[in-house]
Amino acid sequence: MHHPRDLLSTIFGFPGFRPGQEEIVQAVLDGRDTLAIMPTGGGKSLCFQLPALCLPGVTIVICPLIALMRDQVRALKAAGVEAGALTSGNTEAETEEVFEGLDQGRIRLLYMAPERLASPGTLPMLRRVGVQRIAVDEAHCVSQWGHDFRPDYLRIGDLKRALNVPLAAFTATADEETQAEIVTRLFEGREPATFLRGFDRPNIHLAFQVKDNPRKQILDFAGARKGQSGIVYAATRAKTEVMAQALREAGHAACHYHGGMDAEDRRQVEIRFQREDGLIVVATVAFGMGIDKPDIRWVAHADLPKSIEGYYQEIGRAGRDGAAAETFTLYGPDDIRLRRSQIDEGIAPADRKAADHGRLNALLGLAEATGCRRQLLLGYFGEASGNCGNCDLCERPADVFDATDAVRKALSAILRTGEWFGAGHLIDILTGNATDKVKERGHDGLPTFGVGRELSKPAWGAVFRQMMGRDLIRPDGERHGALRMTEAARPVLRGEQPVTLRRDSIARATPGPVVKT
């Protein structure tokens, strides 16, 4: 059997599970009847597609929407997965092809419109092909009182009984009556494993900080929580070793963990962490998958994670017991550069790279948020919420200012120098600092020379970092990291879109009062 986590990256190209997915995938793999209530956009298709590929045989997917089925089949085929759809929209040739694929045992996912269940040939055919699981999309269509009732959905219960296989039902409709009706009609009234827990983990405190002295920032954070079990995630193997050493010198029980250690050493760390109270493990992302320790009291990131999904998954290891837990994430311009270049230099096709940049942008948006972090995080996963009261920004609202003018000046400096320079040189131009390099290139004669004197150098550094975080500018790997403007910056440059930035992170980067607005 394939391991779900391997297929998650090789087939689907995702860096990690989204909230809730892993548990649902596991339940389906374990052969439990499952009801999953997930918000739209939450990623439910993966919850039946991934198990389908791990198991032998065919998974049937009942779905009421022809266009959606076609999209999913197309996407699966593009990823090299054999899938087919039987719908009223098929040409005869398409249907023939699906039957052939089924007969040859090639097809892993068979999408079916519910109407198919009414035709007498369907059940014998399905008996023949070796169905392992039934997945039901939009399961609320089985509810006669709901607005989407589909009479043919009532046949699904019979189908399940006839094939005698586990069924996983998915819906975004969470009200209790609909749920009860799904249980009655699809599961003969026997309670399935139900995943309704939203994405929120309200006991986990969220906080970010700009990285200025990461070693000290992590030591301070851990120092205030001495004796508690915690994880520090770092971007490189070398860093995990250095940081673990620093923590030991500060009197903590700490060890490192990364994929370069041999299996036995890694296992020792896992066992110690599981058994001991108050151990800190400094690790790469390799640590955590098999860890099932309910009382991890904090998770810190010494470097910015890869994506918003990765971030959620890593902080989600804290506080599984439901008691208060804390998280703390550091980020800086070097992290942004590193993560961008990791994506650009990877071997993924262009559209996947674009998606990865998008997931990184979402995380950077969270890092540089100006309102409640949890609201933003949950919103990304499709869940609406109010201010949480349990994040750093709810406790101390961000001080923001209209930075449109500063951002336009920075963009203009970038464009007037041909998108060939990094932040340091651009800031020299903006602040009117006539360095040798500035004079050599004649940049002291540019109209932008000295137009940004109202901000200090570090304040400009923070403006550039936040611009990177908003994906208004990107370092170009082929130009030694020279900053280039993105499409997203055009409306700002044209004066059509204002930009609000955080003053506090600028102030922190700046000795003395500097930011005039």
Tell me phi and psi for residue 359, to 5 degrees: -70, -35
Q: How far is the CB of 462 from Zn ion (least distance, A)?
A: 22
Residue 287 interacting partner from Zn ion, ligand ADP, none (CB closer than 5 to 8 Å by kind): none
Q: How far is the CB of 373 from Zn ion (least distance, A)?
A: 5
41/397 with CB nearer ligand ADP: 41
Q: Does 18 bind ligand ADP (CB under 6 A)?
A: yes
Q: Does 91 bind ligand ADP (CB under 6 A)?
A: no
Q: What single letter denotes the amino acid at residue 185?
A: R
Residue indicated by tokens 């109270």: 277
38/244 with CB nearer ligand ADP: 38
* CA–CA gap between residue 24 and residue 35 (Å, rounded): 9
44/140 with CB nearer ligand ADP: 44
Q: In the range 33-72, which residues lie near ligand ADP by CB under 6 A? A: 38, 40-46
* CA–CA gap between residue 11 and residue 312 (Å, rounded): 21
Crossing angle of the two packed helices 21-29 and 44-54, in degrees rounded to 10:
40
Site residues for Zn ion per CB under 5 A: 372, 374, 388, 391, 394
Tell me, by CB under 6 A, how many residues bind ligand ADP.
13
* CA–CA gap between residue 229 and residue 297 (Å, rounded): 6
Q: How far is the CB of 372 from Zn ion (least distance, A)?
A: 3
27/38 with CB nearer ligand ADP: 38
The contact pattern for ligand ADP, residues 303-342, with x = CB under 6 A and - = no contact, is ------x---------------------------------
Residue 34 interacting partner from ligand ADP, Zn ion, none (CB closer than 5 to 8 Å by kind): none
* CA–CA gap between residue 299 and residue 281 (Å, rounded): 10
Q: How far is the CB of 198 from Zn ion (least distance, A)?
A: 15
Give the side-chain half-sphere CA count within 13 A for 83: 25
Q: How far is the CB of 387 from Zn ion (least distance, A)?
A: 5
Q: How far is the CB of 311 from Zn ion (least distance, A)?
A: 15
- Assess contact for 396 and 412: CB atoms under 8 A: no
Question: CA-CA distances (angstroms) from residue 499 to 223, 292, 423, 437, 483?
Answer: 37, 43, 19, 30, 19
Tell me the window of 11-19, 262-270, 289-297, 452-460 that interacts with ligand ADP (CB under 6 A).
11-19
Residue indicated by tokens 């599961």: 187
Residue 388 interacting partner from ligand ADP, Zn ion, none (CB closer than 5 to 8 Å by kind): Zn ion
In the structure encoding, which two tokens stand for residue 431, read together? 């602040």
* CA–CA gap between residue 10 and residue 12 (Å, rounded): 6
* CA–CA gap between residue 254 and residue 269 (Å, rounded): 10
Binding site for ligand ADP (CB under 6 A): 14, 17-18, 21, 38, 40-46, 309
